[in-house]
Structure 1
Amino acid sequence: MRLDILAFASGVLGLQMQASLPVWWLWALAGGVLLLPRLFKLHALTRWLAILACCALGVAWASWRAEIRLADQLAVAWEGRDVEIVGVVAGLPQDFSHGTRFEFDLEKTLTAGIEVPSRIMLSYYQGSRDQEGWARLPVRPGERWRFTVRLKRPHGNANPGAFDYEAWLLERNIRATGYVRPNLPELLSAMTWQPGYLIERLRYAVRASFSEMLPAEAYPWTGILVALAVGDQKAIQGDLWPTFNRTGVTHALSISGLHVTMVAALFGWLVNVGWRRVPWLALRLPAQKAGVLAACLAALFYAALAGFAVPAQRTLYMLLVAALAMLSGRIVAPSRTLALALLVVLVVDPWSVLAAGFWLSFGAVGALLYVGSAEVGAGRGWRQRLRAWGVVQWAATLASLPILLLLFQQLSLVSPLANAVAIPVISFILTPLALLAALIPWWPILWLAHTVLDWLMVFLFWCAAWPVWQAPAPPLWAALAAAGGVAICLLPRGMPGRSLGFVLLLPAMFWSQARPPAGEAWIDVLDVGQGLASVVRTREHTLIYDPGPLYSAESDAGQRVVVPYLRTLGINRVDMLMVTHRDSDHSGGTASVLAALAVDEVRSSLPENGGVRCLAGQRWVWDGVAFEVLHPVAENYAADGKSNHVSCVLRVETGGRSVLLTSDIEAPDEAALLARAPDKLAADVLLVPHHGSKTSSTAAFIAAVDARDVVIPVGYRSRFGHPKAEVLARYSAAGSSVWRTDRDGAVQVVLKPGGAELAAWRDVHRRYWHGR
């Protein structure tokens, strides 16, 4: 059975890697045919045929579910148009710097002729639009509202090593996003009495109670207690996550399986003890079975209160399987229990395999079962217990190593020590206190939890100063080899060949990403929405040409796109950061890049950035590749005008082939370049000025550059209308191939003496949900 479930899981995972959906019923038919020999016991190979059948059924199941979900979509023609809808606030509202964001279940569309997906995500902006009367929308889960909204189909930035927002939306069944128009929203009902909405309202009430008792302004760790009580990780301050990642305790600050198990065990024990004291109850149902049922109910309630994350699901399903086995009088092996939990998770949510928590949760528990309960629990003395705790930490840390290197490119060296302290404190002190404060909203309880957390954070900040193992993202084969190495390393002592396990770990830990050969430059124009962030690499050097936009007070492209991308490449030091001009869609990620990476030199047109000012004529050569700044000149700085006019223009050239990076220059700047350096404008690839605005890309400039390929960094459905139709027409008339980050994702340019080769991330790594 376990192999069958693993085969089913591999089929589900394989489907999520596809660029398009197969015909699900053909796979289901193939699975049924392959199962026939096993049903009739016709051949000795039936075991292997059954495994193949389960794999095919996994593909069929995931494909069928995806087909149903993708069919619930918004028509392209209705993107960006006013639509009046009625529905219910479905989840915890999340405040951000300019408003509130929340999930919304559609009940009725009041605008004729449109079909809106059943679940959407809406934002209400309070101050960014400078409209009188706007304020934060006081929405609560379960409320029924009438809104006028503008929607768009699911779309996220597509970059190597970055978070796949479209996959996340698909998993949560959010099939459109948009914002509430300033037309007066109308509250129709204060509560919709359905179980899911009641749970979300309870979560909301607990979060509000915590915030009222311990205001975040005076108590900085309140968000952590909220996360432990109701699973709202967004309540945690964003600047704390680097500390948790560096110490390897991120999993402990979410609703983990250990927390659910602890709550279930506590309630089961209490009911067991109380049940025994009432004879007529014990006669009708043994106290042990009553305790098991109570534990399952407590686990179900806590998992629901915590938002039903994958670790909580896994633990809940394992407890349910174990409870059914106990109630039926059967003994089920722990590994079989884990396999059944895996099956239920994938049947309920086939997209869970795309989440890091899925792999970390099942990987850690699988490693502990692999080590064996006899090994972990052997002995009663303090030495044996200490050794058992060390075995647990060693197994969990080693099992997570391939996953962490593949997904996050780092491994905390201090993680065993940090977890040895943090897990008991969080699981047995902070989480019980947080849950008690949720049940009994009394300030001293929450204050005590915050005080304990104060001490723990001091320890974690100390641990965060320790070094972290960082390596480029290894290829899949190296990660699989590392997983095999972990299995060998965790064999019992005395087993021959354990040292081979460490050999298999080496490729993943010391993988070296390819770099451009001498005389070549690789230029990546990243997909950051409406803005610009690009990376230029030569054999031994790296340059960031703009770190991207500021999205909100909580996030920017440097943090969300540029730094994760460079870490997948194993780059922690940058030779030059060039911030072309002041506009926040180009400079907004500067602080995050400077905080996360070692930057040898900053060059920009912003005096507050320090470093070297961009000036035409600056030239340097890296590894046989020439770089030259063509704009601005000193007179541009002296003029009192738009910051666009001092944008740093950079020419990258090798072997007579070149790329021209133009940032946000406009028509006057293009004319100045034509007059000052006409012989340096011709290029094979052009980064289109100002995102395709009509203020740039004059016909004379396009003719002088004469680029075979042009790349437009632009946001999906840009609110500025970029790129303009007349600009696109000019480039098409000039015979240029147009690449767009909103359509193609990140665009990679390989510049070498023989010419320039371009590739789009969405083409090379397409998934079936992209653009749908």
Structure 2
Amino acid sequence: MQMAIISFAAGIWIAQYQPRLLSGTALILITTGLTIGGAAALQWYKSGVLRENLFRALVLLVAFGVGFAWSGWRAAWRIADELPPAWEGRDVEVTGLVAELPEPSEQGVRFVFQVEKAAGPVPQRILLSWYAKERGAESATAPVVRPGERWRFTVRLKRPHGLVNPNGYDYEAALLERGVRATGNVRSGPPPALLDRFVSQPMILVHRLRDAIRDRFSAALPGKEYAGVLIALAVGDQRAIPDEQWTVFRNTGISHLISISGLHVSMVGILVAWLVGKAWRRSSRRMLRLPAMKAAAAAGLVAAAAYAILAGMGIPTQRSLIMLAVVALALLGGRQPSGSQVLCLALLCVLAFDPWAVLAAGFWLSFGAVAILMFLLGGRVAAAKGWRAAVASQLGITLATIPALIVLFNGFSLVSPLANALAIPLVSFVITPLTLLAIVLPLTGLLDLAHGLFGLLMVFLEWLAALPFAMWSQAAPPAILAGAAIAGVVWLMLPRGTPARSAGVLMVLPMLAWVPERPAPGTFRMTVLDVGQGTAVHVQTARHELVYDTGPAYRQGGDAGARVVVPYLQAAGIGHIDRLVVSHNDLDHSGGMSSVLGGTNVGDIAANFVPEGEADGKGKPPVRPCTAGEAWVWDGVEFRVLHPRAEVLGKISDNDASCVLRIAAPGGSVLLAGDIERATEQQLVGSEGPALASTVVVVPHHGSKSSSSDAFVAAVSPRAAIHSAGYLNQFHHPHPSVLQRWTDGGATNWRTDGQGAVLVEVGARDVAIAGQRELAPRYWYGH
């Protein structure tokens, strides 16, 4: 059974990486073939035609096909509920319910809306943002909504769309998993109308309770530094935890404790089961009616289920709840399943309900950690006990998860065993119980005590996180090296006495030593990142790194530096930027600067303004001017600033003061034009003339019709014009007339809003260009 479930899971996993969905006819044929094939194999086996090993192979093949087909059917059903392209960007009236826990911010609130009635073909579940200034009121107070409220809104929607970058977070996949098939904003006219204050539905009752607990905790801990952590432990809402704290958690390897993890759900279930069992044994009458073990199992399961539902049923909580349910039901039925059977049944249930779970890092880490523990603690002749078992388990999990952490997060914490040695018992057995007790007993003292204890823990964690060797960071390795490392780790964890067990280290080292290939001298690589409505460009030569602009600050919170640029650099194995060029001080170009300065080491900044603040206490790098005449050569590649002249600074607009940079190598050249407009373009054509000619241009001002004049297009005369713009942005960039102008000038238009990050390889003799959505296509792109 276990191998069949694993094969089923493999089929689901492969299906999620298909570039396009199979047609309905193909899925019907596959399903029919699997049914006939499975029935025939079973009949042949019963009649003795098939041998046992061949039958097992056929079972595994059928299970793989069932997983593949099930994933395809689920995807087809979900994607069918979509917003037609013709309805994007149109105002439409919808009526429905606030379906989940809202996400408040300083700017407004975001929430999942369950549509009951609409004046158009709107999907059943949409994600809406309601900003304060769009309410049509004079007050800037952010709107407040509650789960279960029925509203009538006028909304402007678009199909699910996310930023697509190399090794980046796939927002479109996350929306698909949540069943959200359109996103949009609440419009101010006609004004939103609250129709009902509460509509009772089972899950809405749960979200209403979670909302009330969150509000009570926030009111009880006003302005407290770690209130967000206690809210996360209580109801699974992590949005109030600031990025600085998440950095400490990641660097010390305790992020799993801050989420409501399987450990917490199991702890609640086991604790309640123990208490009920102790109480049950005190009554002989109860013991005669029902054995104490069965009563304890039932009570523990109910408690664990209540906590998991309150936490929002994430993958780790699903896995733990299902495992506890299997064990509890087995005990109630007088059976005793093995650990592998329990884990595989949990795997089957999770993927049958949510086939997109395989795309989440938590899925692999959650199931992997439990499998590792079973492997370490089971089947040993002389297994360790007590504190020795705890230490061995922690060290084993730390070692075994190294390949997965490098693949998923581009690094792992070297101080994790020490941090978890204190954090696991304190968070799991003291802070979390106090927090849960505060849900039942509205005593502020319980929360104050939990908050104080976590504050003491953070003193230790912050000291560990600040150590220079706290984190091992590197580029995401190729699959073959990651696979070899996993095999090496498994070999290392075999029981003592296994021949050449230490040789497993040799299989891990190639992954740890791997460094991505860099451009050869005299060539360079450029990536125009997909940051939405803004610009961020990475340029790499044989031994140097340059970043041009840092992307926008986002309205819903955060910025492109933290969400896109720094994760991209980390995945590429880049921890040092030789030069950060910021074209001008507009938020769509400089909004992510502080995050980039805080997340990487920067040699110097080329900018014509004074950056604010410091880089996470590291001090600001030196700032140099970015004015015409500045030039340097890195590894046979020439960098030259064409604009602005020093004497015009302060006399022209910010857009026209953009730093224009040309990068040239023997095989081709690139022009980065910032936000310059027609007047500056005309001046550049007159002053630079033939020097503007480039193979590739990152189009001025995101393709605004106020830029890209005929004379400028003719002077640059590129083979490729790259437009860095947000999907369905409010400025309608790039303008159709601009696209046509570059096409008429002989260029192929590339767009980050449609093709994701654009990768440009300037080789020794030619230039190659590709879009990330085409390099790594997924069936949900465009749906």
Alignment correspondent of 1:416: 417
Q: 1:133-212 maps to which residues of 2 (within 5 A)?
A: 133-183=139-189, 184-212=191-219
Structure 1: how far apart are the matches of 2:438 and 2:756? 46
Alignment correspondent of 2:635: 623
Please point out which of 491, 499, 502 is paired with 1:499.
502
Alignment correspondent of 2:733: 722
Q: 1:575-654 maps to which residues of 2 (within 5 A)?
A: 575-608=578-611, 611-639=623-651, 641-654=652-665
Q: 1:506-521 maps to which residues of 2 (within 5 A)?
A: 506-521=509-524
Alignment correspondent of 1:298: 303
Structure 2: how far apart are the matches of 1:664 and 1:223? 39
Equivalent AA in structure 2 for residue 340 of structure 1:
L
1:562 deviates by: 0.6
**Does 525-534 or 627-636 show the bigger shift?**
627-636
Structure 2: how far apart are the matches of 1:130 and 1:723? 29
Contact 1:34 1:50 in 2 (8 A): no
Name the SS for the 1:616 alignment partner.
Answer: coil
Q: In structure 2, do the counterparts of structure 1 residues 349 and 711 end up closer, same or farther at CA, with 3 Å as the change threshold?
A: same
Please point out which of 677, 690, 709 is paired with 1:698.
709
Alignment correspondent of 2:3: 3
Structure 2: how far apart are the matches of 1:378 and 1:638? 74
Structure 1: how far apart are the matches of 2:199 and 2:749? 49
Alignment correspondent of 2:14: 14
1:61 deviates by: 0.4
**Does 369-378 or 304-313 show the bigger shift?**
369-378
Equivalent AA in structure 2 for residue 540 of structure 1:
R
CA deviations over 1:679-734 (Å, ceiling 9, x no partner): 21111111110001011000011011111111000000010111111111211222
Contact 1:38 1:47 in 2 (8 A): no
Aligned-residue sequence identity (percent) comes to 48
Structure 2: how far apart are the matches of 1:539 and 1:493? 46
Equivalent AA in structure 1 for residue 71 of structure 2:
A
1:25 deviates by: 2.6
Q: In structure 2, do the counterparts of structure 1 residues 613 and 130 end up closer, same or farther at CA, with 3 Å as the change threshold?
A: farther
Alignment correspondent of 2:615: none
TM-score when normalising by structure 1: 0.97
1:360 deviates by: 0.6
1:282 deviates by: 2.6
Please point out which of 36, 47, 50 is paired with 1:43.
50
Structure 1: how far apart are the matches of 2:575 and 2:137? 43
Structure 2: how far apart are the matches of 1:128 and 1:185? 10
Structure 1: how far apart are the matches of 2:627 and 2:712? 20
Q: In structure 2, do the counterparts of structure 1 residues 415 and 362 end up closer, same or farther at CA, with 3 Å as the change threshold?
A: same
Structure 2: how far apart are the matches of 1:242 and 1:672? 46
Structure 2: how far apart are the matches of 1:128 and 1:220? 31
Matched, 1:74 2:79: no
Alignment correspondent of 1:524: 527
Q: In structure 2, do the counterparts of structure 1 residues 550 and 340 end up closer, same or farther at CA, with 3 Å as the change threshold?
A: same
Please point out which of 668, 681, 702 is paired with 2:679.
668
Matched, 1:756 2:767: yes
Name the SS for the 2:526 alignment partner.
Answer: strand
Equivalent AA in structure 2 for residue 414 of structure 1:
V
Equivalent AA in structure 2 for residue 252 of structure 1:
L
Alignment correspondent of 1:89: 98
Contact 1:548 1:556 in 2 (8 A): yes
Structure 1: how far apart are the matches of 2:379 and 2:72? 41
Alignment correspondent of 1:387: 388
**Does 418-427 or 610-619 show the bigger shift?**
610-619
Alignment correspondent of 1:460: 461
**Does 462-471 or 606-615 show the bigger shift?**
606-615
Equivalent AA in structure 1 for residue 14 of structure 2:
G
Name the SS for the 2:454 alignment partner.
Answer: helix
Contact 1:376 1:391 in 2 (8 A): no
Structure 2: how far apart are the matches of 1:31 and 1:612? 67
Structure 2: how far apart are the matches of 1:607 and 1:630? 21
CA deviations over 1:108-158 (Å, ceiling 9, x no partner): 11x2xx111111111110148996245322211111111111111100000
TM-score when normalising by structure 2: 0.95
CA deviations over 1:392-432 (Å, ceiling 9, x no partner): 10121122111110011111000011011111111001110
Name the SS for the 2:549 alignment partner.
Answer: strand
Structure 2: how far apart are the matches of 1:605 and 1:6? 58
Contact 2:134 2:188 in 1 (8 A): no
Structure 1: how far apart are the matches of 2:711 and 2:136? 38
Matched, 1:710 2:721: yes
Alignment correspondent of 2:779: 768
Please point out which of 223, 227, 235 is paired with 1:222.
227
Matched, 1:56 2:65: yes
1:29 deviates by: 3.2
Structure 1: how far apart are the matches of 2:36 and 2:485? 35
Contact 1:156 1:165 in 2 (8 A): yes
Equivalent AA in structure 1 for residue 456 of structure 2:
W
Name the SS for the 2:239 alignment partner.
Answer: helix
CA deviations over 1:199-252 (Å, ceiling 9, x no partner): 00111111011001111x2x1101000000111111212221111110000011
Alignment correspondent of 1:679: 690
Alignment correspondent of 1:31: 34
Contact 1:98 1:128 in 2 (8 A): no
Equivalent AA in structure 1 for residue 15 of structure 2:
L
Alignment correspondent of 2:492: 489
Contact 2:308 2:317 in 1 (8 A): yes
Q: 1:91-110 maps to which residues of 2 (within 5 A)?
A: 91-109=100-118
1:374 deviates by: 6.0
1:486 deviates by: 1.5
**Does 147-156 or 385-394 show the bigger shift?**
385-394
Equivalent AA in structure 1 for residue 13 of structure 2:
L
Alignment correspondent of 2:560: 557
Structure 1: how far apart are the matches of 2:59 and 2:512? 36
Contact 1:34 1:52 in 2 (8 A): no
Name the SS for the 1:601 alignment partner.
Answer: strand
Equivalent AA in structure 1 for residue 754 of structure 2:
R
Alignment correspondent of 1:400: 401
Equivalent AA in structure 2 for residue 550 of structure 1:
A
**Does 386-395 or 418-427 show the bigger shift?**
386-395
Task: Figure out how many residues of one structure are paired with residues of the other and give that number.
Answer: 762
Contact 1:122 1:179 in 2 (8 A): yes
1:501 deviates by: 1.5
Structure 2: how far apart are the matches of 1:71 and 1:498? 52
1:484 deviates by: 1.2
**Does 329-338 or 366-375 show the bigger shift?**
366-375
Structure 1: how far apart are the matches of 2:541 and 2:590? 23
**Does 162-171 or 548-557 show the bigger shift?**
548-557
Structure 1: how far apart are the matches of 2:225 and 2:134? 26
Matched, 1:285 2:290: yes
